[in-house]
Amino acid sequence: MADILSIPRQVLHQEVAVRLRQRIVEGGLAPGAKLNERELSEQLRISRTPLREAIRMLAAEGLVELLHNRGAVVAQMSEQDVADTFEVIAGLEGQSGALAAERITDAQLQEIRALHYEMLAAFTRRDLPTYYRLNALIHAHINAAAANRVLTQTWATVNARLQALRFRSNFDEAKWTRAMDEHGRMVDLLAARDADGLRTLMATHLHHKRDAVLELMRSGRLGGTWKAEA
């Protein structure tokens, strides 16, 4: 990670946040894990000031919890937290899909289609990190095509809390295949400008993600520590 030293100090904390976020999403930092500042500073070869700024950014996103006298830990969610948050994101993505189908430009559609083909290649290789990165870009592009700034800001805030869980929802091969098929239908519905169809599909897609995550949590196969129900 020596290349991080070449990043201007003014934006260093943003790059640190990107790297920590990736670790959290991909499971390198599990739910409930303490963020050891000394170790992370040594690993990233940075001072603690940009690290702390990055941690505060992740806390604002809901990926990290700042605990009194305990420092920062990777956020944990209960089953009810997961169900409630996916319920909200399903509604937001359904609305994004409907508006995008009505407002998307030809150039935006072509960009999403190109990302979809790249994602299909990653799926074929079973390259989950690359697949997820492209998957997240597609959802963000659909949201951007909806052309509603309030919707985009709300979606980004809620979605940030679910990134690690959405990544893990593809651990099951059959569910991953279903998600890939659903994405193919999303592109088709966007091309057809089918607002009602895409609204329904986007919400269903997120409900499937929710169900996959809850199944993994209940079976103990999700990894990390998750909050028990209150």
Mean pLDDT of 146-162: 93
On whether residue 43 sits in a domain, the answer given is yes
Predicted confidence at residue 230, as pLDDT, reads 40
Which of these three, 18, 46, 74, is where a domain ends?
74
User: Could you tell me if 102 and 215 lie in one domain?
Assistant: yes
Q: Considering the domain boundaries, does residue 229 fall inside one? A: no
The tokens describing 163, both together, are: 């990134």
For residue 161, pLDDT over 90 is answered with: no
Nearest alpha carbon to residue 188 among 124, 95, 119, 109: 109
Residues 44 and 156 in one domain: no
Share of the chain above pLDDT 70, in %: 92
Distance between CA atoms of 138 and 95, rounded to whole angstroms?
Answer: 15
**pTM for this prediction:** 0.79
Which string of b and e fits 96-115 if b means at least 16 CB within 10 Å? bbbbbbeebeeebbebbeeb
Residue 107 lies in a domain: yes
Whether 224 is in a domain gets the answer no
**End position of a domain, from candidates 37, 56, 74:** 74
Higher-pLDDT residue of 221 and 68 is 68
User: Are residues 196 and 85 part of one domain?
Assistant: yes
Residues in CB range of 82: below 8 A, 6 or more apart: 165, 210, 213, 214, 217
Residues 184 and 85 in one domain: yes
Whether residue 228 is contained in a domain is answered as no
Residues 146 and 154: beta-carbon distance below 8 Å: no
pLDDT digits (tens, 9 = 90+) for 81-117: 999 999 999 999 999 999 999 999 999 999 999 999 9
Instruction: For 22-58, write each residue's pLDDT tens digit.
Output: 888 887 888 888 999 999 998 888 888 899 999 998 8
Which residue carries 């057809």 as its tokens?
Answer: 192
Instruction: Decide if 178 contacts 204 (C-beta within 8 A).
Output: no
- Name which residue leads in pLDDT, 29 or 4: 29
User: Which pLDDT score is estimated for 97?
Assistant: 98
Question: Which of 74, 91, 123 marks a domain boundary?
Answer: 74
CATH, residue 92: 1.20.120.530
| Residue whose token pair is 């009194």 | 68
How far apart CA 142 and CA 144 sit, in angstroms, is 5
Residue 185 CA to chain centroid, in angstroms? Answer: 20
Q: What average pLDDT does the segment 13-18 reach? A: 88
- The alpha carbon of residue 222 and the mean position of all alpha carbons in its chain are separated, in whole angstroms, by 16
CA 225, 133, 21, 2 torsion-angle sign = positive
pLDDT(9) > 80:
no
Query: Domain check: are 61 and 86 in the same one?
Result: no
**pLDDT of the residue at 226:** 47
Tell me the CATH number at 20. 1.10.10.10
Q: Which of 171, 214, 170, 219 is nearest to 77 (CA)?
A: 214
**pLDDT confidence band for 165 (50 / 70 / 90):** confident
What integer best gives the mean pLDDT of the chain?
Answer: 89
As a whole-number percent, the residues of the chain with pLDDT over 90 amount to: 58
Q: Based on the domain organization, do 83 and 66 belong to the same domain?
A: no
**Is the domain of 57 the same as that of 84?**
no
Residue 67: domain span = 2-74
SS3 28: coil
Total number of domains in the chain: 2
